[in-house]
Each structure stands twice: as C-alpha cells, then as structure tokens.
Amino acid sequence: MRILVLGSGAREHAIVTALLAEDAGHELIAAPGNAGIAAEPGVTTISLDVTESRTVADFAEAEGVDLVVIGPEAPLVAGVGDAVRRRRIPVFGPDRAAAALEGSKTFAKRIMETAGVPTGRSVHAATLAEVAAALDELGAPHVVKADGLAAGKGVVVTSDRDAALAHAEHYLPQGPVLIEEFLGGPEVSLFFLADGHDVLPLSPAQDYKRVGDGDAGPNTGGMGAYSPLPWLDADFGSEAAFVDEVRRTIALPTIRTLEAEGTPFVGLLYCGLVLTPAGIRVIEFNARFGDPETQVVLPRLITPLSTLLLAAATGSLGGLPDPEFSPESAVVVVLASEGYPESPITGREITGLDAVLPSGVTIAHAATARDGDRMLATGGRVLGVVSRGDGFAAARAAAYIALAGIHLEGGHYRHDIAERVS
C-alpha cells in the first residue's frame, strides 16, 4: 500500500516502524516526519503543513495514496480528516466534529453522560466565583481542567485551593473551565480502533505523566510507558477480562453514541482510565494514538497494522478477530531537553546515537533534525528509547544501558519507568 503518515513525533516513528515491520513492501510517505523517520529505509519525508486541510488533501490525491494516517490531534481538530475523506481517500483519524471528544472536554463529558460511561463528577465554571464554589463543593484534592487542547498542560491536580484558583484564572479568558472530582488509583491507557460503528482493542499500557522520578514535578506529554500490565490479572483475572469490560462499558457505548448523533468516529479512541476502588472511570478521551504509549504497544502487535488501520478507515472492522499481541515486555523511556516541560532549550546536539544498541532496543525519534552530520534536538521530548525483552527487568535494564550512551547537554529522563513491574 501507499500510505501517508502525518506527524513528526516518536508516535509517528512507531507507526512507521510497525508498518515497515510487516515486510509488505509498503511505500511510506511521512509529513513532515523527523530525522529518525527520514532515516528509515523506504520512507520518503516531505515538508507539509499538516494542519492545512486543503494542502494535505491535494497532496494525498496527487500522490495516489491508499491510506492517510493522522498521528497528532492538531490536524484532526483542524478538519484534515474531513477534507481527505471528502476526496474518497481512506483516512484513519476522525472528522473534526468527532475529534471534539479530545478537543473539548465539555463535549467529551456530554457524550459520556449520554452514553452512560463512568467518569468523575464535574462542574462547568465560567467565572472565578463559580470556580471557587465548585472547588468547595467537590472538595480537595482539586482538579481543574482547561476546556481545549493544551498539550498536557491544561490540567492541574492540587490540594492547594489558591493554586487551583490561579490555574482557573489563567484559563478562564479562553472560556469556561471544568472542575472535576479527584479520581484516585492506577491509570491505564487503552486504545481502540474504531470504524464509526465497531471497535477492536489494542493492548493496555501505562504512561508516566509527571516529569520527575516518583511522580514529582509538573505534568508532561508523557515521560515513559510500559506494556502489557501484568498487575491487571490480580484485579480483573486477566488482561482480556479488563479489556472486555472497557470495551463493553466505555468504548462501544461512546462510539455508538457518536454514531447516533451523526458524528461517527473513525480512528483511534484513546481511553485514559483510572482504576478507582469504585470501579473503572474515564479521566479523558483522546482521538489519536497516545505518545509515548504507542511506542510500547505497536512493537508488540503481531497482526499487520496496515490491515487494521485500513479496515477502520473503510468501515470494515466488524467481524475481524481481536488483534494479536506478543507477550513480551516493552518499555519506553523518554529523553527530554533541559527545561522541559516549562521552557525546553532546543538546538543542542545529541551524540552517541550511532553506538550499537543492546539487543531488543530501538530509538523512536521525537524532535530531532539533521544538520550536516550532527543530530540536533528540536523540541521538548527529544526521543524515546524503546526496549523489548523477556520480562520487565531485562527490558528496563537494556533501555537504561542504551540511554547511558546517549548524550544531550541538560537532557533528562526518568529513572523509575516500569520499576515496580515484574
């Protein structure tokens, strides 16, 4: 197949790697891609503004691509899915209206309510006085969320009422904020492929959202992840039982509600879940593959990814068996630039990338660019070291050995990814 992948992060590198691993002779075009994606054999990268719907649709048509895969949320919310679909080109990624599941927390809450999906209680607040009343009603710890996209920075969870008020005050000029009930428990990211009517699950992963070891410091886009989650067996009997419960109570009702409302969702439904003592609760939906979770989920996928993405894009997931996954343990540790997430310092050289990597280790590039024979860091999350092995101890050890050989001035990463998993 001729496949156009939109985006430039480690998630898109993981998607490209999984498509190449099929050995099906796909022709891949990545727009804009990054230095790691460009170095993959058989991949062409092209500089395109992926949020320009018309530009992307024209390009996909001119290139005669068989499938467009939209990686990040920005093009979805900008309506790139709609534009490509109007040209009758199969596209994996929802239309703008359905992408509001991620783009608007208010929309997501309404859909969850209609679908009967379990989530935290929340209150809409348009003024500081309403915020204060809601904080007092729901109690501490306080959760305050901006309504729109904020790259993981729109949410604050704090027991400090003044800090909660200050966060709300910062976002109120952009519109109402959500004050949400605090949901305590382990978090799980579970992805579903959706074709507008049916869903198929991928394997669960856990993300590390805070910047520092032991969950210290501010929220980020994600500093590491691992998959599968062996500890689910203790609570649910098996991963399959957990996945089936989420499919039945969360993913399918959500997709069917969107379909009934005339905004069918075609693409990746990312369920951000908390396992509270009272049961599974949705903390957020995203309308695209998670980053960095994708870097540990896709390497374990045995079923050809292109078959699944095309089936979702063409409304034919129904009747397909659940995707198959290898039982091996996968870990990703993200290397970030100095100052990330507040104000990353970019443009510094990364060295050590040519070293021989331990067996089972690959590098997923996130924000890299070539400058002659130098490799530069161009963003906050620079790359992910992905490691697969027989058990988490081995996979983890190999990831950290590889990281020790990579140098970026001021670069930092978490040392505790998958530490307590066995």
Residues in Cβ contact with 315 at an 8 Å cutoff, skipping those fewer than 6 apart? 195, 196, 197, 266
Residue 151, phi then psi, degrees to nearest 5: 50, 45
Pairing mode, strands 67-70 and 2-7: parallel
Give CA separation, 330 vs 127, 245, 273, 301, 397, in Å: 45, 24, 20, 11, 11
Measuring CA to CA, which residue among 342, 385, 331, 336 is closest to residue 217?
A: 342
- Residue 272 interacting with ligand AMP (CB under 6 A): yes
Q: Pick the binder of ligand AMP from 132, 182, 249, 320 (CB under 6 A).
A: 182
**CB-wise, 273 or 357, nearer to ligand GLY?**
273
Beta sheet of 27-32, edge-to-edge order: 43-45, 27-32, 2-7, 67-70, 91-92
Q: CB 127 → ligand AMP: shortest distance, Å?
A: 21
Q: Cβ(115)–Cβ(257) under 8 Å? A: yes
Site for ligand AMP in 131-150 (CB under 6 A): 143, 145
- Residue 283 interacting with ligand AMP (CB under 6 A): yes
Q: Cβ(37)–Cβ(45) under 8 Å? A: yes
Q: Pick the binder of ligand GLY from 94, 222, 224, 344 (CB under 6 A).
A: 222
222 binds, among ligand GLY, ligand AMP, none (CB under 5 to 8 A by kind): ligand GLY
291 binds, among ligand AMP, ligand GLY, none (CB under 5 to 8 A by kind): ligand GLY
- Residue 293 interacting with ligand GLY (CB under 6 A): yes
**CB-wise, 274 or 402, nearer to ligand AMP?**
274
Q: Pick the binder of ligand AMP from 183, 200, 298, 399 (CB under 6 A).
A: 183
Q: How far apart are CA 23 and CA 37, in angstroms?
A: 17
Site for ligand GLY in 298-317 (CB under 6 A): none
**CB-wise, 102 or 239, nearer to ligand AMP?**
102
Q: How far apart are CA 79 and CA 70, in angstroms?
A: 11
Token digits for 232?
Answer: 């689910």
- Residue 13 interacting with ligand AMP (CB under 6 A): no
Residue type, 294: T
48-56, 60-68, 175-183, 388-396 -> range binding ligand AMP (CB under 6 A): 175-183
Q: CB 129 → ligand GLY: shortest distance, Å?
A: 31
- Residue 209 interacting with ligand AMP (CB under 6 A): yes
The enclosing H or E element of 348 equals: none
**CB-wise, 34 or 286, nearer to ligand GLY?**
286
